[in-house]
Amino acid sequence: MNSPLDVIVVGGGIAGMACALELAQQQGTRKVRVRIIAKEPVIGSNSYAAQGGMAAVLDPADSMAAHVRDTLTVGEGRNDLRVVRRVVREGPAMVHGLLAMGAVFDRNADGGVALAREGGHTTARVVHRLDRTGAEIVRVLHQHVRASSSISVIDEQAVDLLVDGGACIGVRTRDPRTGRWMDRIAHAVVLATGGTGQVYEHTTNPPGATGDGIAMAVRAGVPLKDMAFVQFHPTALYTDRPGTVFLISEAVRGAGARLLRPDGRPLMEGVHPQGDLAPRNVVARTIARVMLRGHVPNVWLDTSPIGIRRFARDFPSINTHCRELGIMPGRDRIPVMPAAHYLCGGIMTDAQGRTTMKGLYALGECACSGLHGADRLASNSLLEALVIPRHAAARILRARTKHATLTDHHSPDVPVADTVANDDHEAMLHGLRRTMTRHAGILRTTNGLHLALRRIEQAGLRTERAWAKGERAPGLIALRNAVAVSRSIVMAALSEPVSTGTHWIGRM
């Protein structure tokens, strides 16, 4: 009898869980053993934080062609048309699949799935569950993951890929509770480690969105793509504290809220034909300019067109959060600012999640399948995180992988120091985030990017020296990943001399 096909999925968000479930579902006589390695519980993922919803063509008045067109328009034609068509075509099946698994989405009065409109969409096509759509999808997927006898979850942090003869054969991990290092061996490794928002000062991403998978891929020589394209969400709730900031979903503007300048004038009037619902990069850039020129830390979101009762009904999480801060949504203006939100680029893959390295796949936000191009159409990422894993799973099961002779073992990479100098690493990480925000954020200049690159290289040198001496403190692991991700973003931005999508380069 064949021994089971061993697959390691790094990341327990929607992309990782969807891939694990597809592997379990599609396995035939060749049984699979899927191990999800996740450094945090599911509530720490970007997936869980997703508010607005998932785009899919469900309205008979809508069309696949229109969804494809909107995706290409926002992506400024830098998308891979084949991938766009595939993802859009399979959208309705994904929604029906989730419903069959037990997901609950908001309904219209006639019982049909309710659809919202978001920025860049020419029609209402976003399936949602209040303002907690990600949490709802995570809930059902997690339920099925726990019920599957083929899937287990390991609470560890993946630190590096294990490569042998040019093929990926596993991952090196660290157990945060015991500090134990393991080399975990598999026939196929899937990176689904999510976003990179934490390389910036303000981000809507949770603390775990540090781009680990991308950093691991870079260190292993796996090519990335489109790293210059970092989407900033225009409307994060203003705070002067660095770190994760609370998102005020675009659906709030879809429901009628309007952006105002500090003097109360409408912010998007005359800027773009779609006004407040223009593509995110246009809105974020307009806000950034207003803030820069006026020396103000935020602009305002007037929620009064929605009304208190409707706001509380349709956006319960945002409502609760704002009220805790003394803001009455539906009546008051909410102070907002842009924040790093989504990485359009990532580890380069084909339409089946395959990277250029044998045995290595990448899915979800850490991957660049070509769906988004130079900017992401709102609510396309949850869809991508469900569609591509299905094809990746089929591909992994089809691949004629030779059986690995190695099995899991304690890593020979035993640290000489696991806890030293965390304060120093923290300070360097903060400095790096400030540099990225100032010079590689929404508004970029060539000089600023060169300056950022020099600072990143300085941090990189110190990091590599400490690593070579055998230091393995968690802070150093985080800094090493941040250096790799930041360098990739800055170098990609320098290689894009023309402003496109989220990437704007010019004079301030």
Ligand X SMILES: Cc1cc2nc3c(=O)[nH]c(=O)nc-3n(C[C@H](O)[C@H](O)[C@H](O)COP(=O)(O)OP(=O)(O)OC[C@H]3O[C@@H](n4cnc5c(N)ncnc54)[C@H](O)[C@@H]3O)c2cc1C
CA torsion angle for 282, 259, 71, 504 (degrees, to 10)? 20
Return the residue of 6, 32, 52, 441 that touches ligand X, per CB under 6 A. Answer: 52
Return the residue of 20, 44, 288, 354 that touches ligand X, per CB under 6 A. Answer: 44
Determine, following the binding rule CB under 6 A, whether residue 353 of this chain makes contact with ligand X: no
For 139-158, b/e burial (b = at least 16 CB within 10 A) is bbbbebbeeeebbebbebbb
DSSP secondary structure, 209-270, as one string: -S-HHHHHHHHTT--EE-TT-EEEEEEEEP-SS-EE--B--HHHHHTT-EEE-TTSSBSSTT
Return the residue of 5, 9, 23, 47 that touches ligand X, per CB under 6 A. Answer: 47
Return the residue of 212, 226, 471, 496 that touches ligand X, per CB under 6 A. Answer: 212
Give Cβ neighbours of residue 265 (< 8 Å, ≥ 6 apart): none
Footprint (CB under 6 A) of ligand X, residues 383-402: 385
Determine, following the binding rule CB under 6 A, whether residue 247 of this chain makes contact with ligand X: yes
Determine, following the binding rule CB under 6 A, whether residue 364 of this chain makes contact with ligand X: yes
312: exposed, middle or buried (C-beta count within 10 Å: 0-12, 13-18, 19+)? middle
Select 135 or 492, whichever has its Cβ closest to ligand X.
Answer: 135
Stretch that binds ligand X, among 14-22, 323-331, 410-418, 439-447 (CB under 6 A): 14-22
Footprint (CB under 6 A) of ligand X, residues 323-342: 342
Alpha-carbon distance of 37 to 192, in angstroms, equals: 10
Closest CA to 209 of 191, 192, 196, 200: 196
Select 31 or 321, whichever has its Cβ closest to ligand X.
Answer: 321
Residue spans of alpha helices (H) in 346-421 = 380-398
Determine, following the binding rule CB under 6 A, whether residue 46 of this chain makes contact with ligand X: yes
At 336 the three-state DSSP class reads strand
Determine, following the binding rule CB under 6 A, whether residue 170 of this chain makes contact with ligand X: no
Residue spans of alpha helices (H) in 27-114 = 46-49, 64-74, 81-89, 91-101
Determine, following the binding rule CB under 6 A, whether residue 158 of this chain makes contact with ligand X: yes
Determine, following the binding rule CB under 6 A, whether residue 70 of this chain makes contact with ligand X: no
Give Cβ neighbours of residue 454 (< 8 Å, ≥ 6 apart): none
Select 136 or 496, whichever has its Cβ closest to ligand X.
Answer: 136
CB of 382 vs ligand X, minimal distance in Å: 4
CA torsion angle for 337, 485, 501, 237 (degrees, to 10)? -10
Determine, following the binding rule CB under 6 A, whether residue 365 of this chain makes contact with ligand X: yes
H and E: helices and strands count for the chain: 15, 21
For 68-98, b/e burial (b = at least 16 CB within 10 A) is bebbbbbbbebbbeebbbbbbebbeebbeeb
Length of the chain counted residue by residue:
508
Other beta carbons within 10 angstroms of residue 410's beta carbon come to 10
Footprint (CB under 6 A) of ligand X, residues 171-200: 192-195
The residue annotated as part of the active site, out of 258, 280, 285, 444, is 280
Return the residue of 5, 8, 20, 45 that touches ligand X, per CB under 6 A. Answer: 45
Q: Tokens for 87, please give them.
A: 């993802």
Select 91 or 194, whichever has its Cβ closest to ligand X.
Answer: 194
At 448 the three-state DSSP class reads helix
- Number of chain residues interacting with ligand X (CB under 6 A): 43
Stretch that binds ligand X, among 7-15, 81-89, 448-456, 486-494 (CB under 6 A): 7-15
Return the residue of 5, 23, 34, 54 that touches ligand X, per CB under 6 A. Answer: 54
Stretch that binds ligand X, among 49-57, 83-91, 444-452, 458-466 (CB under 6 A): 49-57
Amino acid at site 106: D
Return the residue of 8, 22, 32, 53 that touches ligand X, per CB under 6 A. Answer: 53
Pairing status of strand 5-10 against strand 188-191: parallel
Determine, following the binding rule CB under 6 A, whether residue 381 of this chain makes contact with ligand X: yes
Alpha-carbon distance of 299 to 303, in angstroms, equals: 13
Select 39 or 333, whichever has its Cβ closest to ligand X.
Answer: 39
Stretch that binds ligand X, among 91-99, 139-147, 351-359, 380-388 (CB under 6 A): 380-388
Determine, following the binding rule CB under 6 A, whether residue 38 of this chain makes contact with ligand X: yes
Return the residue of 79, 196, 198, 205 that touches ligand X, per CB under 6 A. Answer: 205
Select 19 or 493, whichever has its Cβ closest to ligand X.
Answer: 19
Amino acid at site 122: T
280 flagged as catalytic: yes
Determine, following the binding rule CB under 6 A, whether residue 360 of this chain makes contact with ligand X: no
Footprint (CB under 6 A) of ligand X, residues 123-152: 133-134
Determine, following the binding rule CB under 6 A, whether residue 13 of this chain makes contact with ligand X: yes
Return the residue of 7, 8, 10, 478 that touches ligand X, per CB under 6 A. Answer: 10
Stretch that binds ligand X, among 139-147, 206-214, 263-271, 350-358 (CB under 6 A): 206-214
Determine, following the binding rule CB under 6 A, whether residue 475 of this chain makes contact with ligand X: no
Alpha-carbon distance of 128 to 55, in angstroms, equals: 9
Select 50 or 288, whichever has its Cβ closest to ligand X.
Answer: 50
Cα distances from 468 to residues 86, 483, 503, in angstroms, run 44, 16, 35
Active site residues: 280
Sites of contact with ligand X (CB under 6 A)? 10-16, 37-40, 44-47, 49-54, 133-134, 157-158, 192-195, 204-205, 208-209, 212, 247, 342, 364-365, 379-382, 385
